[in-house]
Amino acid sequence: MSDYGDGNFMDMVSHWAAPPSPISDVFLQTNQSEKRSGLVDRVAARVGRKIPPLRIGNPSQFNLFRKPKTVPFSIEISPGLNQSVLLQSPSQLISPFSFSDDGLPEMVENPGDNHANTTMIFNNNVPHQPMHFDLPPQEDSFAIPIHNSAYIQCHVDLVGSPLVDSFESGVADETDIIKLVSLDDESKSEEEDDEYSQDEDTYTDEDDDNADELVVKPSSPKRSRKYEVSNMMTARKTSKDPRVILRMETEEDHPDDGYRWRKYGQKIVHGNPNPRSYYKCSHKGCNVKKQVERGADDVKILVTTYDGIHGHTAPATRSSSSSGSKKRSGSSVPDRLGRPPFSSFSAAQDVRPFPYPSTWAPQDMRRPFPYSSASATQDMRPLPSSLNPGVDMTHLYMKGLSKLPTLRVNQNHGCTGQNDEPRVINQNQGLMGQNYELKTDHVIPEGPEVYKGIIERLLANCGVKVDCKNTGEKKL
DNA sequence: CGTATTTGACCAGCGC
DNA sequence: GCGCTGGTCAAATACG
């Protein structure tokens, strides 16, 4: 990817908006880029640092994302925007399948907000039509292995002055930057670059031959690529279930998402020294699976891939949801670094070098590791993350909500059992970005709701309607 | 003893 | 057909 240099947000914005394109035009037309310009400065001033640039996935980071034919789209979320924001403002979640008739997102401002607060409203009434949209130039792109996938990158910086806690009322979206990223595999991306440098017309996409597959076809020069994306519903060829990929920065190897999982396998996959763990939902009859692995280049990043939708409610108790184990994955014991059990968001930890031996190259890449990535007590890998190892999705949710003035609520709601921090909720903003009356009995979504909300809204933005009720059915 | 994890083996898909 | 790879199975093992 291009280097956004000093991390200045405007570098990214200009980079993004530079080539004339439908999306960039929209941005410019709505003057949002200008507003954001000021926003960035204000936010940066508040947090005492520059807004980090959007990160475009490093193709070498996740071998998970290598297969070119399985590239739908990618969404990256800037620091300060996490799962909770998706729940609060799902309209911010962009899908290339959710554009209006002209293929463009409709930009609006949230009402009742003095700050520039751009969200995107999509017209989902455009089924099964090829859509054209321009994407920001990608110099690093990567593939997601299954069609109908969403990719979320959540940076959760809890060190020092947590970004999400640094904002004032009503500015929940100031740094909520979502970026569509075209996906492709590393090698192909490189090839594209070469070809673009020569003659864009020479580009051919092997996926073009497959009408059933989602096609992300560059058809314009590198700096202003136009992509054609077939409808998602017809793109679903190889995946039976919707797949959502979550990327988040956390030390915990198996963050609690509210469901109980049984680990059934672990394997080293090509291109990633970190093992991938395979989990199945422990609920009887539920076929939801997930894969958890660390990024190849950045072990701070935990990549969780969910396959399918739970057709049941989450277990009543969440304490056992983390791997479902009694102790192995629990955080009540010192972690692999010998650190004390998780109790709260803590100060920064030293960044530690990742101690994989450089010469380590097992003949059989499958199971060279004597540890389980899902077992914090057994997995002795030090992780160079500064995050507290006990962060789970509920915590992320809470941290996200805490962007706005906080309100103590009944701690019985969504108690994780992992810390005693008072639960806080967003006073001013509801789940849909609407203003709420101040209430004191808001139920804080628990892990299942967080997870479900993310999944549902991801899929909803992809044009997939999901029914997560107890019927066990799902509508696609 | 029940439950969950570990891990070697196996299978299927894909590319050559 | 063969090898590679990702995904899964299931017996052994670990733990409370």
Distance measured from the CA of protein residue A35 to the C1' of nucleotide B13, in angstroms? 50
- Nearest nucleotide over every DNA/RNA strand to the A237 CA, judged by C1': B13
pTM of the model: 0.43
Task: Give the nucleotide with minimal C1' distance to the Cα of A378.
Answer: B5
Whether residue A163 has pLDDT greater than 60? no
Closest-approach nucleotide to residue A282, Cα vs C1': B4
Please give the average per-residue pLDDT across A169-175, as a whole number. 27
What average pLDDT score do residues A116-120 get? 23
The 3-class secondary structure across chain A, one letter per residue, is CCCCCCCCHHHHHHHHHCCCCHHHHHHHHCCHHHHHHHHHHHHHHHHCCCCCCCCCCCCCCCHHHCCHHHCCCEEEECCCCCHHHHHHCHHHCCCCCCCCCCCCCEEEECCCCCCCCEEEECCCCCCCCCEEEECCCCCCCCCCCCCCEEEEEECCCCCCCCHHHCCCCCCCCCCCCEEEECCCCHHHHHHHHHHHHHCHHHCCCHHHHCCCCCCCEECCCHHHCEEEECCHHHHCCCCCCCEEEEEEECCCCCCCCCCCEEEEEEEECCCCCCEEEEEEECCCCCCCEEEEEECCCCCCEEEEEEECCCCCCCCCCCCCCCCCCCCCCCCCCCCCCCCCCCCCCCCCCCCCCCCCCCCCCCCCCCCCCCCCCCCCCCCCCCCCCCCCCCCCHHHHHHHHHCCCCCCECCCCCCCCCCCCCCCECCCCECCCCCECCCCCCCCCCCHHHHHHHHHHHHHHHCCCCCCCCCCCCCCC
Distance CA A370 to C1' B6 in A = 9
Q: Which residue is nearest to nucleotide B14 (CA to C1')?
A: A67
Q: According to the model, what pLDDT value does residue A307 have? A: 84
For A169 and C16, how far is CA from C1' in angstroms?
47
CA of A116 to C1' of C9 (A): 54
Using a 7 Å CB cut-off, which residues contact strand B?
A: A 69, 238, 260-267, 277, 282, 320, 323-326, 328-329, 366-367, 369-372, 374-375, 378-379
pLDDT band at A453 (very low <50, low <70, confident <90, very high): low
Comparing A34-48, A51-65, A157-171, A329-343, the range with the smallest average pLDDT is: A157-171
> In this complex, which residue's CA is closest to the C1' atom of nucleotide B8?
A367
Q: Is the pLDDT of residue A247 over 50?
A: yes
pLDDT at A283: 81
